[in-house]
Structure 1
Amino acid sequence: MACGALIAAAASAPALNQASAADLAAPEVIDVTKSPIDVSFGVKLATEYNLRSVSQTKGHPAVQGYAEISFYDWAYAGVWASNVDFGGTDPSAEVDYYAGLRHTWDGLTLDGGFLYIDYVGEKSGLHELDFWKVYGSVKYAFNENLTIGANLYWTSDFIGYSKIDGTHSSLFGKYTLPPINGIPSDIGFYVSGEVGKQWVSKNFAPDYVFWNAGVGVTYKAMTVDLRYTDSDLSRRECNLFIGQRSSCGSRYMASISFDTSLSKIK
């Protein structure tokens, strides 16, 4: 069970928020402006921290936030944090540090970088879960309403175990509804979804498929998102994976977030 709880953290190995469909729910944070340097930031209150259809907070609420600096519409670096609640080393928070290159050519955006996951408050004397990933993503905006994309994350240091490879990849998409007569133009509606798979080498953790779909409303810097998520993990596999049977399986989630940047503040 202790090993299962450690593997649970593996499930939580965070993908950068901008790469998942759930986070596509949020307005685009990085805005290409005349200023060569911009800082974006935001905060989210969610019914739980759910990552690739596995709860990282035992189904309890999560408070999350981030800050990111971008340079010349090419380089960026940032930090993201959330409370967590799972067994094993029993950390109190997850803090992600990341940096990379990202650029947009018309509707095409390419992104690649490095991510380090730090679990804060782990019990001493146990195997530490901190580890790193490299990632890449591509997305294409067919028009101002429809965007689709794909991502890939890989590490050879899965939850701090060297020579254990961990890989996850997904396809995601978002459709923003056209303006609706009678509704103010600064209120928007969208639908979005994601389907993906995670693989871990040497049978260290079960491979599984995950998916989510949701709808949302945006108003200026605020986004309200309602989402359904599930996976093909059995309850037995979930218990091995994260140390508790109830952290996987179908569930509905809700969140409210606020995202903006210095360039958008008048």
Structure 2
Amino acid sequence: MKKVALLATALAMVTTGSAFAADMAVKAKKAPPVVAFDPWDIAFGGAIMNDYIFRGITQSNHKPSVAVYFEPRYNVTKDLQLYVGVAGESISFPNRAAAEIDVYGGIRPTFGAFAFDIGVWGYLYPGGTCFFGAPTDTAGNPLSAECAANALLNGNVMKKDVSFFEVYGKVNYTINDNWSVGLNEFYSPNFLNTGAWGNYTSVTAKWTAPSTTFGSSGVGVYVSGEFGRQWFGTSDSFYGTGIASPLGGGPFPNGIKYADYNTWNIGVGFTYKVMTLDLRYSDTDLSKANCNAFTSDNTATFSSSYSSINPSGVGSKWCGAAGIAKLSFDLTAMTNLK
């Protein structure tokens, strides 16, 4: 009987120990805390660059430029984002505009490996001055006293306000962790307020190096490139003179059909935390003559470069090959400021 009692006691102790062990295991596996979904986010950043190039053409007269942006975002779901933003860049335009101010907004839906971006972008150039040097344009339309009084030495002309807007659609396809490709489309009914419509289409590609390339340093690297084509319509009569006076060549009372052109760029970038250093080569196939007709470059000089829309021989270097070094930082409130 004593042996039976001892055996029963031992079994009871084992059973009790097992029960405690089970209880302890359950208590150790606490349910993860429920994190509320916060749809709001803010992205912001800035950059400094040795040259502000836009679609192959300098916006800063091949001089340094700074840029900043601020972009509130609302994530409807993890695959659908709404956004608005404002940005600013320092520029050097022939009309002496103070800066470029961008106001934009749109929607970014994602479907698997496809990321879309559809929206409207406004380019504002406050503080400009009209340069024409005559009381009427080539069609005989009267111009303001400011336009009549101010003239650029090389005969180019430019409006006081060259603000405009574009509608755009972009799609990026992520092939794998290293490769992605994209397609971009932009359209403006009045590009740079010239009276000419503008359409820009480009394809992009990007290769991102494996995260282990630089070990545990946190440095990332990528190589990317873009090839695009810009199409234009015909300007209004204001730009029908341009290079025609005083250097000769004859006016275009019906405006100028700007030359379409190709542009391309390729570069390498290095990332570390929120910083990016991008080194890039950019170029176009615009001649100096057609570049001058489009940009109204106030620094353009006689270069024996002629075209049907620029018969004076004045040529611009604003559309040629350029090297760009850009240091930028980008943060989001949800990721970087928690």
* Deviation (angstroms), 1:182: 5.3
Residue 40 of structure 1 corresponds to 43
Among residues 159, 164, 189, which one is paired with 1:131 in the alignment? 164
Amino acid at match of 1:232: D
For residues 34-75 of structure 1, give each alpha carbon's deviation from its aligned partner in whole angstroms, at most 9, with x where no partner exists.
420100000000001101111111110000010111111421
Q: Take 2:41 and 2:198, find their aligned partners in 1: how far apart are those partners?
A: 33
Q: 1:180 to 1:236 in 2, by over 3 A?
A: same
* Residue correspondence of structure 1 range 166-181 to structure 2 within 5 A: 166-180=198-212
Residue 184 of structure 1 corresponds to 216
Among residues 218, 224, 228, which one is paired with 2:277 in the alignment? 224
Aligned length: 232
Q: 1:84 to 1:108 in 2, by over 3 A?
A: same
Q: 1:174 to 1:205 in 2, by over 3 A?
A: same
Amino acid at match of 2:224: S
Q: Take 2:213 and 2:272, find their aligned partners in 1: how far apart are those partners?
A: 16
Among residues 65, 70, 73, which one is paired with 1:67 in the alignment? 70
Q: Take 1:185 and 1:263, find their aligned partners in 2: how far apart are those partners?
A: 24
Q: Take 1:118 and 1:231, find their aligned partners in 2: how far apart are those partners?
A: 24
- 2:328 is the alignment partner of 1:257: yes
- 2:182 is the alignment partner of 1:146: no
CA contact (8 A) 2:180 2:205 kept: yes
Residue 58 of structure 1 corresponds to 61
CA contact (8 A) 1:69 1:76 kept: yes
Q: Take 1:52 and 1:232, find their aligned partners in 2: how far apart are those partners?
A: 12
Amino acid at match of 1:63: V
Q: Take 2:60 and 2:288, find their aligned partners in 1: how far apart are those partners?
A: 17
Amino acid at match of 2:227: V
Q: Take 1:35 and 1:207, find their aligned partners in 2: how far apart are those partners?
A: 46
Whichever of the two has the greater Rg, that structure is 2
CA contact (8 A) 2:213 2:220 kept: no
- 2:288 is the alignment partner of 1:239: no
Structure 1 runs of 4+ with >4 Å offset: none
Amino acid at match of 1:234: S
* Deviation (angstroms), 1:110: 1.1
Amino acid at match of 1:253: I
CA contact (8 A) 1:155 1:165 kept: yes
Worse overlay, 152-161 or 223-232? 152-161
CA RMSD, 1 decimal: 1.7
Amino acid at match of 2:113: G
Q: Take 2:46 and 2:273, find their aligned partners in 1: how far apart are those partners?
A: 14
Question: For structure 2, which runs of at least 5 residues remain unmatched after alignment?
Answer: 1-35, 131-145, 148-158, 235-255, 301-315
By percentage of residues, which structure has more strand? 1
What's the TM-score once normalised by structure 1's chain length?
0.83
Aligned-residue sequence identity (percent) comes to 35
Q: Take 1:182 and 1:212, find their aligned partners in 2: how far apart are those partners?
A: 26
* Deviation (angstroms), 1:120: 1.9
For residues 93-127 of structure 1, give each alpha carbon's deviation from its aligned partner in whole angstroms, at most 9, with x where no partner exists.
00110011111122111111111110021126453
* Deviation (angstroms), 1:156: 1.0
* Deviation (angstroms), 1:183: 2.8
Among residues 192, 200, 208, which one is paired with 1:159 in the alignment? 192
* Residue correspondence of structure 1 range 95-134 to structure 2 within 5 A: 95-123=101-129, 125=146, 127=159, 128-134=161-167
For residues 173-230 of structure 1, give each alpha carbon's deviation from its aligned partner in whole angstroms, at most 9, with x where no partner exists.
1110113455325210100000000001135321100000000100000000100011
CA contact (8 A) 1:58 1:246 kept: no
Q: Take 1:173 and 1:66, find their aligned partners in 2: how far apart are those partners?
A: 24
Amino acid at match of 2:287: S
* Deviation (angstroms), 1:241: 2.0
The DSSP-based 3-state class of the residue aligned with 2:286 is coil
The DSSP-based 3-state class of the residue aligned with 2:62 is coil
Residue 266 of structure 2 corresponds to 213
Higher RCO structure, 1 or 2 (CA under 8 Å, sep 6+): 1
What's the TM-score once normalised by structure 2's chain length?
0.66
Q: Take 1:95 and 1:204, find their aligned partners in 2: how far apart are those partners?
A: 27
